[in-house]
Amino acid sequence: MSARRSLPVRVLFVCTGNICRSAFGEVCLASRLAGVPGVQVTSAGVMALVDHPFDELMRQQAALLGLDGSGHRARQLTGRILKNADIVLVFGAEHVDWISASYPEHLERVVALGQAAAVLRSQPRRALTRVSDLVRDVRQQRPDPLEEDWIADPYRQGTEAARVAAEQIWDDVEVLARKIEWTD
């Protein structure tokens, strides 16, 4: 994805059930990029609870940030969804493994959200990464995600787990929103 590309830019968040982490990432980034033309943010799950709404505890965390996840409905990750994504942001090694086993042809666009945010944080303060270069740059600077790049699944783990996951996702999404040049 290093060549210049035309709009739109399609960002896909992937987690397990698509009701906690990926749903939260989607509403966070979509909210932050609401004024940026041509960016589409979606989410899906590798074992989605299809048509289920946002997990209640994660919905509450979103509401605390002024975000509305009420329209979210979980969907199963498919090859077609992956094919249509320019960047695939995952939360756990199991998501990479699932994509690798099911749709290896799309693996070149997959990075961990925390991995991408860590690379962007390491750049000089005012530096921006072109969206078309993000995955390549992340892979060059941090080829494999570190343990701290993963964000634990808060599903059925209580309010504190939801708060911690939401805070990590929000912080990482904020870095992406600020440090990426979204229009090539």
CATH number of 9-179: 3.40.50.2300
94, burial (CB in 10 Å: exposed 0-12, middle 13-18, buried 19+):
middle
Distance CA 156, CA 166 (A): 14
> Averaged over 109-135, what is the pLDDT?
95
Task: Write the pLDDT tens digit of every residue in 140-163.
Answer: 999 999 999 999 999 999 999 999
Q: pLDDT tens across 16-71, in order?
A: 999 999 999 999 999 999 989 999 999 999 999 999 999 999 999 999 999 999 99
Domain residue ranges of the chain, discontinuous segments joined by +? 9-179
Mean pLDDT of the chain: 94
Asked whether the whole model's pTM tops 0.85, one would answer yes
In order of 60, 65, 68, 155, 162, the CA distances from 111 in angstroms are: 27, 25, 26, 22, 22
- CA distance linking residue 36 with residue 182, whole number of Å: 8
Q: List, in sequence order, every residue forming a beta bridge with 110; answer none if it has no partner.
A: 88
